[in-house]
């Protein structure tokens, strides 16, 4: 599934987030108390800037992020889809399909393979963890259970 690119703001807790990448990257700093950088990440409407700033968190602890990133992604996805009926219908329309981010450049959030790679259709052959796809599928299930 390719996520539709729909500009807009969604809220999570007290922050108004302008893009999908803002919550995960803003949350990287939150457990580490880097509030000034988190504010910059949350404020910027450009997902690429949020990603770059998220990587600049001082004293970043990879172990902390690895423990928290999946749940953060699930919470962000639920918040996003609860607040955007068009995207919620799109997600629900995926039925029970396996969702994946097919990119060779991303082995944690994606499958580690491009969409046109022959093994991309075989989950057992993926080189990545597909955390984004798993988070979206869990969000889809949570949203259905709340309906």
pLDDT tens profile 85-117: 999 999 999 999 999 999 999 999 999 999 999
Query: Do residues 26 and 50 lie in contact, with contact meaning Cβ atoms separated by under 8 Å?
Result: yes
State the DSSP string of 87-114: HHHHHHTTTTPPP----TT-SSSS-SS-
State the DSSP string of 58-80: TT--HHHHHHHHHHHHHHHHHHH
Domains of the chain: 10-146 (1.10.357.40)
Which tens digits make up the pLDDT trace of 29-52?
444 444 566 667 767 777 788 778
The answer, as to whether pTM is greater than 0.85, is no
Give the pLDDT of residue 16: 44
Determine phi and psi for 78, rounding to 5 degrees.
Answer: -60, -45
């Amino acid at each position: 599934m390719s996520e539709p690119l729909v500009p807009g703001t969604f809220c999570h807790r007290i922050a108004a987030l302008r893009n999908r990448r803002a919550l995960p990257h803003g949350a990287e700093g939150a457990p580490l108390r880097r509030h000034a950088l988190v504010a910059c990440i949350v404020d910027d409407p450009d997902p690429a800037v949020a990603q770059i700033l998220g990587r600049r968190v001082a004293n970043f602890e990879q172990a902390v992020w690895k423990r928290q990133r999946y749940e953060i992604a699930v919470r962000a996805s639920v918040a996003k889809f609860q607040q955007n009926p068009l995207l919620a219908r799109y997600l629900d329309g995926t039925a029970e399909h396996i969702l994946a981010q097919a990119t060779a450049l991303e082995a944690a959030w994606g499958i580690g393979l491009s969409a046109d790679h022959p093994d991309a259709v075989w989950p057992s052959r993926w080189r990545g963890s597909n955390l984004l796809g798993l988070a979206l599928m869990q969000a889809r299930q949570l949203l259905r259970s709340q309906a």
